[in-house]
Amino acid sequence: MDNRSTPTPAFDMVLFGGTGDLVMRKLLPSLYQAHAASLLNQQGRLLALGRKAMSRDDYLALVEKSARQHVKEHFDAAAWASFCSRIDYLQVDAGNAAHYPALAEAVGQHPERVVVCYLATAPNLFAGICENLAAVGLNRPNVRVVLEKPLGIDLDSSNEINDAVAHFFKEEQLYRIDHYLGKESVQNLMAIRFANALFEPLWRREWIHDVQITIAEDLGVGTRGDFYDGTGALRDMVQNHLLQLLCIVAMEPPASMEADAVRDEKLKVLKALRPFSEQDVANKTVRGQYKAGAVAGQPVVGYLQEQGIPADSQTETFVAIKAEIDNWRWAGVPFFLRTGKRMQDRLAEIVINFRDVPHQLFSGPLSGSHTANRLVIQLQPEESIRLYFLAKEPGDTMRLQPAFLDLDFYKAFKVRRADAYERLLLDVIRGKLALFMRRDELVEAWRWVMPIMECWQNSSNTPPKQYTAGTWGPAASSALLSRDGISWHEES
């Protein structure tokens, strides 16, 4: 039986930042879904930590108000009440070492139980939290620590955090989370590639023309202006989410599905990414910033008018990059990465465009284009995989029309949809590291991004290109692809 259909071992999950947005919006709702599906051990406990003094009843009232609204499906009042019985609250200031003995006492000494410490806090607190955990013995082998992104603001700060954390916890105890790797369609991409003879022979430079990876949001920065302006789209999305998706697409078949076998192959991809010169940054990257426009028919302000944003900010809200991988499988195949806020739709997808057939037998506007054959893996808003091709239109003429095969796994298997955080939280409890970043992966990702970041920081006289909110980004993004004779998927 698949271990995902069986309950986890007994566990204590300690949620640092227990009153924060991530815990309320993602973690508790995902844990409830796992509970409702009987995937959590009956002895599993949730201990939320926060600086505010409140009783357990007060905290559960907050959970009812804040977390309950984010449970999107499969809600059952009895299951919710049973789930809430797992939850307790403890007042702990993460930066105050004097509060940790009470935490250690609450967790107790139970070597047979897994202890998960989820650090849903600012990354500048990670080192101090880990030191305080170790001081009260909560770094023993059965303790696992989940580190949320962003892990630093550049390579040096990332190394600093990782060095500090590694002083108290072994690498196999650290789970650097990227929720995009927990999405069902990303897992199915690996299955399609490595379990089927149909795709693997085609998954190389001889048959693939280009790859496009997009993560687009229709929302602006909202109330996160202060945080976002010091981060930007390159740090927030490219260095982690987009590069991790690129690795899944481009990696060689691992020797097994063991964690280090998978992560070794991802690391090889990151090491093979062609580094950027200053000229490359000018020619192969686009940075943009949204201005006032309309999204879903409603007027929205520009980035510089958002709360907490300086009037002269040059922080990018849009990035497009032409990446290249210097190895035998992918030499000459461009990988186009794109992300942005206040774009036309909320969308995350991977598009594999195959090359043309070597000789055209048919005439007409739909033939002779590599866009005819493409594999589209959509991650959001819905998860799906579609294979596009040309087929004959019914009738007495040889007219071609686009068609597609829709690989709907949920209809085929009739299973419940588990969201990304639910899958990853279950993997942490079970001790499965394959979907979490190893430190050397993180280092290589930062190393590749740093030249772009430094060039943009040094080009204060070249502000980000403006794009109207509710569009697909600056015109320069389309021009980036047009130089290779192609266009973005939605433009085709």
Flag whether 99 is marked binding: no
List residues with catalytic annotation: 241
| CATH T-level fold of 181-419+439-491 | Dihydrodipicolinate Reductase; domain 2 (3.30.360)
Does the pLDDT of residue 368 top 50, yes or no?
A: no
Flag whether 217 is marked binding: yes
pLDDT level of residue 410 (50, 70, 90 thresholds): low
Q: Which of 73-77, 93-97, 139-143 has the lowest mean pLDDT?
A: 73-77
- Work out the angle between the directed axes of helices 420-430 and 28-36 (0-180°, nearest 10): 80
In the numeric block, the tokens 């992300």 are attached to: 339
Q: Where are the domains of the chain?
A: 11-177, 181-419+439-491
The amino acid occupying position 477 is S
Flag whether 179 is marked binding: yes
Q: Which of 146-150, 293-297, 389-393 has the lowest mean pLDDT?
A: 389-393
Flag whether 268 is marked binding: no
Q: 150 or 374: whose pLDDT is higher?
A: 374
Helix/strand/coil for 423: helix
pLDDT digits (tens, 9 = 90+) for 117-161: 999 998 899 999 999 999 999 999 999 999 988 788 999 999 999
pLDDT level of residue 466 (50, 70, 90 thresholds): very high
Q: Is the dihedral of CA 332, 333, 339, 342 positive or negative?
A: positive
Calculate mean pLDDT across residues 402-412: 75
The amino acid occupying position 238 is V
| CATH T-level fold of 11-177 | Rossmann fold (3.40.50)
Share of the chain above pLDDT 90, in %: 72
Calculate mean pLDDT across residues 164-184: 94
pLDDT digits (tens, 9 = 90+) for 415-463: 677 788 999 999 999 999 999 999 999 999 999 999 999 999 988 778 9
pLDDT at 372: 72
Average confidence score pLDDT of the chain: 91
Q: Do residues 375 and 212 make contact, with C-beta atoms less than 8 angstroms apart?
A: no
Does the pLDDT of residue 213 top 80, yes or no?
A: yes
DSSP, residue by residue, 249-301: HHPPPPSSSSHHHHHHHHHHHHHHBPPPPHHHHHHHEEEEEEESEEETTEEE-
Distance, in Å, from the CA atom of 380 to the CA atom of 304, rounded to the nearest integer, reads 28
Flag whether 236 is marked binding: yes
Flag whether 342 is marked binding: no
pLDDT level of residue 3 (50, 70, 90 thresholds): very low
Strands of 110-261, DSSP E: 114-119, 143-147, 174-176, 208-216
Segment 248-257 long-range contacts (CB within 8 Å, at least 24 positions apart): 248/181, 248/186, 248/189, 248/190, 249/189, 249/211, 249/213, 249/335, 249/350, 249/352, 250/211, 250/325, 250/329, 250/330, 250/335, 252/329, 253/193, 253/194, 253/200, 254/194, 257/434
Flag whether 57 is marked binding: no
Helix count and strand count (H, E) for the chain: 17, 17
Distance, in Å, from the CA atom of 439 to the CA atom of 238, rounded to the nearest integer, reads 17
Share of the chain above pLDDT 70, in %: 95
